[in-house]
Amino acid sequence: MNAFAPSLETIERLVSPERPVSAFVHDLDELDRHARQLVSALPPEVDFFYAIKANNDALILKTLAPIVAGFEVASVGEIRKVREAVGSGARIIMGGPARTATDFEAVIDHAVERVHIESIHLLHLAEAVAAAQNVTLSILLRINLTGPVPGATITMGGKPTQFGIDEGEIDEAISTLVACPHLRCEGFHLHTVSNNLDATAHADFCLEALRRARRIADRHGLDLRIVNLGGGWGVDYADIDRLFDFERLATRLRSVIEPDGPRIQFECGRIMVAYCAVYVSEVVDVKTNHGEAFALLRGGSHHFRLPSAWRHRHPFRVVEREKWPWKWPRRGHANRCVTVTGELCTPKDVLLCAEPFSRLRIGDLVCFLLAGAYGWDISHHDFLSNAHPERIFLPIRQAQGHLSKVEGKGEI
């Protein structure tokens, strides 16, 4: 999988010429190709759901709908986005902590296929809602497995977190199901790791999770129909040429899948969409302050929060532009470390910290690669009410000769 990196000519052809450049550009053709490659590698007993928290734009969902098994959501709002973008036929599963009665009502109203239960209290609440509507609700019990968990940059389980039912309490949870006749427990949800870069370690985790799921089901005589292993297929932002070996993971799964065993589900987001978009932003000012060099962008963390949220060095490249429309000299930095910031009135608005540049000038573009996941979707868009970036989607209906573009909102 190659990171999408549009040329200056492509960028200038797509963006509005009346304002400084600030845009997300998505390559839907590449997304389609990449998604098919991921899904086709998996055994037929495995379902791949797209976790829309990574990027819930309607065009992304429509592109993925014919390829993935369905969509994983974490809120009622995300349920509505899938239904509006894809329609009533799309399969939806719902996870996440802190559920309410309203959430379970929406699960029923929108024909969500299954909901993942994260506490004993939520078992009782889901039963109460299902009983009031005289329906049977399909569920998985989310278990916070006993750790440790190898290879992950973020762990959702295997240690104290707010996620799932402690593995030590799972017997109590299954016993509680006896008093919940309107709930049909079909198995377990074992999402434990996020952004695992080591496919071998991830396969080890998946196989161990499957073993534990079978042991728990056998102990209670539970008909184990589904084991959801969550997401966690990683993206290496420090080395964009290092790709998660999903084919190795698939091969390991084939070795343990039983013909009459449970269906395995994954719910991945980042690995599906990260590579297929960039965030590109124009340098609108440069300065030196107390001996340190800064470059200020038309944009920032309110558009693309991922670098500051993860506190990592995000991959990027500089796209130089030679045009200079003003009468005064063009300012820039040469052969020095530059901190690249945004337009917000906070010193936290930093996208690159003391990064060495051979040259960076006002009017040049900084193009952040691998920006398709957890960028725009996790950012605080309306802090200070700055203009939103343009959101541009290729191939933008090339056969019809026009572009698909979501214009930025706000004052120019």
Collect all residues with Cβ–Cβ distance below 8 Å to 202 and sequence separation of at least 6: 151, 193, 196, 232, 233, 234, 244, 249
Beta strand 137-144 with 183-189 is: parallel
Indicate the helix (H) or strand (E) that contains 86.
Answer: helix 76-86
Q: What is the pLDDT of residues 208-229, one digit of tens each?
A: 999 999 999 999 999 999 999 9
pLDDT digits (tens, 9 = 90+) for 270-298: 999 999 999 999 999 999 999 999 999 99
Stretch (H or E) spanning 353: strand 350-361
Say yes or no to pLDDT of 148 above 70. no
**Would the pLDDT of 335 be above 70?**
yes
CB contact set of 286 (below 8 Å; sequence gap of 6+): 293, 294, 295, 296, 331, 332, 333, 338, 360, 361, 362
**What letter does residue 235 receive in the DSSP assignment?**
B
Give the ranges where 134-237 is alpha helix by DSSP (H): 170-176, 199-220
| Phi (first) and psi of residue 46, to 5 degrees | -115, 130
List the one residue out of 136, 144, 229 whose CA is nearest residue 177: 136
Q: Work out the pLDDT band at 160, boundaries 50, 70, 90.
A: confident
Residue 345 annotated to the active site: yes
Q: How confident is the model at residue 193, as a pLDDT?
A: 82
- Output 104 or 163, whichever has higher pLDDT: 104
Are the beta carbons of 275 and 1 closer than 8 angstroms?
A: yes
- Scanning 167-321, the segments in alpha helix (DSSP H) are 170-176, 199-220, 246-254, 270-273, 306-310
Rounded Cα distance, 200 and 315, in Å: 25
Q: Assess contact for 202 and 249: CB atoms under 8 A.
A: yes
What does the block give as tokens for 68? 């993935």
**What DSSP state is assigned to residue 54?**
G
pLDDT band of 159, cuts 50, 70, 90: low
Greater model confidence, 399 or 261: 261
Length of the chain, in residues: 412
* pLDDT recorded at residue 154: 44
Q: Is the pLDDT of residue 333 over 50?
A: yes
- % of residues, the chain, pLDDT over 70: 92
Contact present, 342 and 19 (Cβ < 8 Å)? no
Question: For the chain, what is the mean pLDDT?
Answer: 92
Report pTM. 0.93
- Closest listed residue to residue 246, CA positions, set 271, 274, 264: 271
Q: Looking at residue 288, what is its pLDDT?
A: 97
Sign of the C-alpha dihedral computed for residues 144, 148, 149 and 155 taken in this order? positive
Split at pLDDT 50, 70, 90, the class of 408 is very low
pLDDT at 158: 57
Q: Which of 185, 337, 345, 367 is catalytic?
A: 345
Q: What is the largest CA-CA distance in the chain?
A: 80
User: Domains of the chain (ranges plus CATH)?
Assistant: 8-25+275-406 (2.40.37.10), 91-268 (3.20.20.10)
Q: What's the whole-number mean pLDDT along residues 65-93? A: 98
Q: For residue 372, give the nearest of 298, 281, 304 by alpha carbon.
A: 304
pLDDT of 136 strictly over 80: yes
Tell me if residue 372 falls in helix, strand or coil. coil
